[in-house]
């Protein structure tokens, strides 16, 4: 076989591997159509859910009583966070790859009570340990109240994706770069939520059921969404003042420069604009 033919065959083989990898990774832009829960490993979700949307390979499930438009909204926000520049492919393929490897998923129920009554052991026994819950009554696309989708979807991406792709940077444990920022924001290193935070702390989350890893997740959510402009309105500032003080990009940059530098570092391809519920990938 001559050298030119060998090079050509190697090129074709490489192209096929790339295409198969892209297909496997769910890199095809989502169409947000609602389907029944698929067969195979996802069959276990049929006990509670009847609706499913696939976003770059990440599955979102909704119960029969979950409004379809709210499940679809969560899927769109997921796509906007993962493909923030809307070029039709995830901005950070490694984060998506990690989420897929961990079988990350999101479930939506009609309300909080229904979410609490899910039989989570069914999913866990089938190998699905890494999910995020959301309920329709906190999902407010275009409404006056804050849309919790901006929080819950981002939690899934950072907790399952970033924390495990960059464990020394975004890992949710003492000693990581994120954890060092958290300790500064809370005025010290607290493995458990303190009864009173030191004066000058700007992150004062008081849910005592939230362990250190959970605090990392919450803190990163506040920092990212504040930089993106989600928290900067008079009503919202008042609503969150007991928990978070740096409600704008300017405040985060000035008061918490370390986390600002971390989340705006282009190496990690975190979102640079706030999802608006409209996802229109650019045509090539």
Predicted TM-score of the model (pTM) = 0.89
Which residue is it, tokens 């989420």?
99
Determine which of 8-22, 60-74, 258-272 has the lowest per-residue pLDDT on average.
8-22
Provide the pLDDT for residue 16. 46
Residue-level pLDDT at 3 = 56
How does the average pLDDT of the chain come out, rounded? 92
Q: Which residues pair with 51 in a beta bridge?
A: 62
Q: Phi first, then psi: what are they for 244, rounded to 5°?
A: -145, 130
Backbone angles phi, psi at 220, to 5 degrees: -65, -40
Q: Specify the pLDDT at position 19.
A: 42
CA–CA distance, 227 with 232 (Å, rounded to integer): 9
Confidence of residue 24 (pLDDT cuts 50, 70, 90): very low
Across residues 52-59, what is the average pLDDT? Answer: 98
Q: Specify the 3-state DSSP secondary structure of 52.
A: strand
Q: Where do the domains of the chain lie?
A: 27-165, 168-274
**Least confident residue range of 93-97, 101-105, 178-182, 278-282:** 278-282
Percentage of the chain exceeding pLDDT 70: 90
Report, in angstroms and rounded to the nearest whole number, the Rg of the chain calculated over CA atoms: 20
CA dihedral 28, 56, 275, 67 (to 10 degrees): 110
Bigger pLDDT: 21 vs 55: 55
pLDDT tens string 128-186: 999 999 999 999 998 778 999 999 999 999 999 999 999 999 999 999 999 999 999 99
Instruction: Report the pLDDT value the prediction gives residue 143, as an integer from 0 to 100.
Output: 73
Task: Give tens-digit pLDDT for 33-48.
Answer: 999 999 999 999 999 9
The predicted model gives 234-262 an average pLDDT of: 97
């Amino acid at each position: 076989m001559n050298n030119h033919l060998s090079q050509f065959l190697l090129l074709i083989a490489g192209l096929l591997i790339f295409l198969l990898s892209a297909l496997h990774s769910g890199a095809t832009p989502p169409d947000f159509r609602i389907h029944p829960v698929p067969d195979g490993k996802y069959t276990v979700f049929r006990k509670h859910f009847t609706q499913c949307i696939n976003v770059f390979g990440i599955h979102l499930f909704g119960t029969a009583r979950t409004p379809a438009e709210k499940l679809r909204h969560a899927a769109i926000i997921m796509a906007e966070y993962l493909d923030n520049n809307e070029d039709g492919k995830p901005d950070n393929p490694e984060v998506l790859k990690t989420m897929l490897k961990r079988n990350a998923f999101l479930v939506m129920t009609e309300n909080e009570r229904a979410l609490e009554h899910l039989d989570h052991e069914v999913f866990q026994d089938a190998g699905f340990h890494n999910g995020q819950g959301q309920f329709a009554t906190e999902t407010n696309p275009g409404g006056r109240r804050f849309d919790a989708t901006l929080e819950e979807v981002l939690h899934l991406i950072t907790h399952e994706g970033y924390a495990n792709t960059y464990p020394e940077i975004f890992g949710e444990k003492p000693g990581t770069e994120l954890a060092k920022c958290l300790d500064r924001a809370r005025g010290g290193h607290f493995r458990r939520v303190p009864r009173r935070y030191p004066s000058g702390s700007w992150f004062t989350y008081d849910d005592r059921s939230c362990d250190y890893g959970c605090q990392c997740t919450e803190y990163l959510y506040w920092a990212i969404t504040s930089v993106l402009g989600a928290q900067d309105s008079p009503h919202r500032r008042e609503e969150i003042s007991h928990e978070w003080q740096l409600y704008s990009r300017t405040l985060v940059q000035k008061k918490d420069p370390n986390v600002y530098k971390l989340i705006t570092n282009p190496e990690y391809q975190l979102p640079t604009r706030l999802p608006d519920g409209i996802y229109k990938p650019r045509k090539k």
